[in-house]
């Protein structure tokens, strides 16, 4: 990228501004999303979570030997030192789950025996699932749930989250949603990770910063907010009045709209299909799919705003029995693989990310002693 001679004014929020070259993923306004060149629908239909994670991290699909080795590495590093849980427990039951995970990752950076860069990154990636699943339990004083032996990443995480044996189809759907959450080019948390990586701070610091950026409802917390909103709509017939009332009050309907996708989010389309089949297989889901479809229709009719991934991922998590406050931690457990891919890409061709700003405050003020200052 060509450097400018002086500051360049850009849109607020950096909308439409390319801040880096990347080979990892790309979302486009036409509703497409690719990971390392592979369309997301292709990966959702054919790949496992571990295959996709390996692809995102390494730039190619693994051979059988590479996949087995990678999966074994993640499983072997998934155990969390009790000292990390002690730090999380000290936060108390009022701790926000993301704060608990972030604190856990920070503590891990001080005691983790891994020393090589790949080792440290794999340690964070593998342990994030247990930290996410226990981000409410441990601060509340409950015993942590541990990763199950002989289970893949997605299956192990789901079991820790719900403490029940899911059906094969439920496990498959959950794995698809994790694949969708794994990576999404230069989103807020990824950009945060790359800024920290550009200082050459270690992966623990970068992951902690990424977690901090997930806490707000406009990024990671959107799936929780979307579910809380959907639970207010008691039936599909209430959708029109609910949307009317919300729009008239000037409130935002969570789970709708996206900075990139203007016509449709490809991940949301696929999740909608999965949710419908989950509802059909159950024979009765309290009308959650009907509510989702009705609210989506009303929003498109009024605003021409499509739903995003969070809108349909949230009710999938709900039907799987995952507690709403754990939806963002689930996001983090998957997105950490994308973060580490971006961490590596940033460090490999590093330049400190240090943008300029335009000062619009006062100038030329004269300091006066406190006794001479007017109220």
Cα–Cα distance for residue pair 327/70, rounded to 1 Å: 26
User: Side-chain half-sphere of 205: how many Cα atoms within 13 Å?
Assistant: 10
Cα–Cα distance for residue pair 26/42, rounded to 1 Å: 15
Catalytic site residue from 112, 265, 285, 310: 310
Catalytic site residue from 258, 265, 285, 342: 258
Question: Could you tell me which of 158, 186, 141, 147 has the C-alpha nearest to residue 335?
Answer: 186
Phi, psi of 230 (to 5 degrees): -60, -35
How many helices and strands, by DSSP H and E, does the chain display?
16, 3
**Contact at 8 Å (CB) between 184 and 33?**
yes
Active site residue 185: no
The helix (H) or strand (E) run that includes residue 46 is helix 40-46
Q: Output 24-29 pairs: Cβ under 8 A, ≥24 positions apart.
A: 24/56, 24/183, 24/185, 24/338, 24/341, 24/342, 24/345, 25/56, 25/183, 25/184, 25/185, 25/338, 26/185, 27/184, 27/185, 27/260, 27/261, 28/260, 29/260, 29/261, 29/262, 29/263
**Contact at 8 Å (CB) between 83 and 103?**
no
Catalytic site residue from 96, 202, 219, 238: 219
Active site residue 122: no
**Concatenated DSSP letters of 184-214:** -SS-HHHHHHHHHHHTT--HHHHHHHHHHHT
Cα–Cα distance for residue pair 152/48, rounded to 1 Å: 9
Query: Can you state the angle between helices 49-58 and 327-348, rounded to 10 degrees?
Result: 30
Active site residue 21: no
Catalytic positions are: 219, 258, 310
């Amino acid at each position: 990228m060509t450097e400018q001679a002086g500051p360049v004014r850009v849109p607020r929020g950096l909308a439409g501004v390319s801040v880096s070259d990347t080979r990892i993923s790309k979302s486009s306004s036409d509703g497409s999303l690719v990971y390392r060149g592979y369309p997301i629908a292709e990966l959702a239909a054919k790949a496992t979570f571990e295959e996709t994670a390996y692809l995102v991290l390494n730039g190619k699909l693994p051979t059988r030997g590479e996949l087995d080795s990678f999966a074994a590495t993640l499983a072997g590093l998934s155990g969390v030192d009790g000292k990390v849980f002690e730090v999380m427990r000290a936060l108390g039951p009022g701790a926000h789950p993301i704060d608990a995970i972030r604190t856990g990752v920070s503590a891990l950076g001080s005691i983790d025996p891994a020393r090589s860069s790949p080792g440290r990154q794999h340690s964070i990636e593998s342990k994030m699932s247990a930290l996410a699943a226990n981000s409410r339990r441990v601060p509340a004083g409950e015993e942590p749930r541990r990763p199950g032996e002989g289970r893949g990443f997605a299956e192990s995480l789901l079991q820790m989250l719900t403490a029940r044996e899911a059906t094969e189809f439920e496990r498959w759907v959950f794995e698809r949603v994790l694949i969708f959450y794994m990576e999404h080019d230069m989103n807020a948390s990824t950009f945060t990770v790359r800024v920290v990586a550009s200082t050459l701070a270690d992966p623990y610091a970068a992951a902690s910063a990424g977690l901090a950026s997930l806490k707000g409802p406009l990024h990671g917390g959107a799936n929780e907010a979307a579910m809380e909103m959907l639970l207010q709509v008691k039936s599909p017939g209430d959708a029109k009045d609910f949307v009317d009332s919300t729009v008239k009050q000037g409130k935002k309907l969570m789970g709708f709209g996206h900075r990139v996708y203007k016509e449709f989010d490809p991940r949301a389309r696929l999740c909608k299909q999965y949710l419908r089949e989950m509802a059909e297989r159950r024979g009765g889901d309290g009308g959650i799919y009907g509510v989702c479809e009705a609210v989506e229709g009303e929003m498109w009719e009024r605003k021409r705003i499509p739903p995003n991934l969070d809108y349909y991922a949230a009710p999938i998590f709900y039907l799987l029995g995952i507690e709403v406050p754990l939806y963002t931690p689930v996001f983090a457990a998957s997105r950490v693989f994308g973060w580490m891919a971006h961490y590596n890409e940033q460090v490999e061709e590093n330049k400190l990310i240090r943008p300029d700003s335009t000062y619009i405050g006062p100038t030329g003020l004269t300091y006066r002693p406190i006794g001479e200052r007017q109220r």
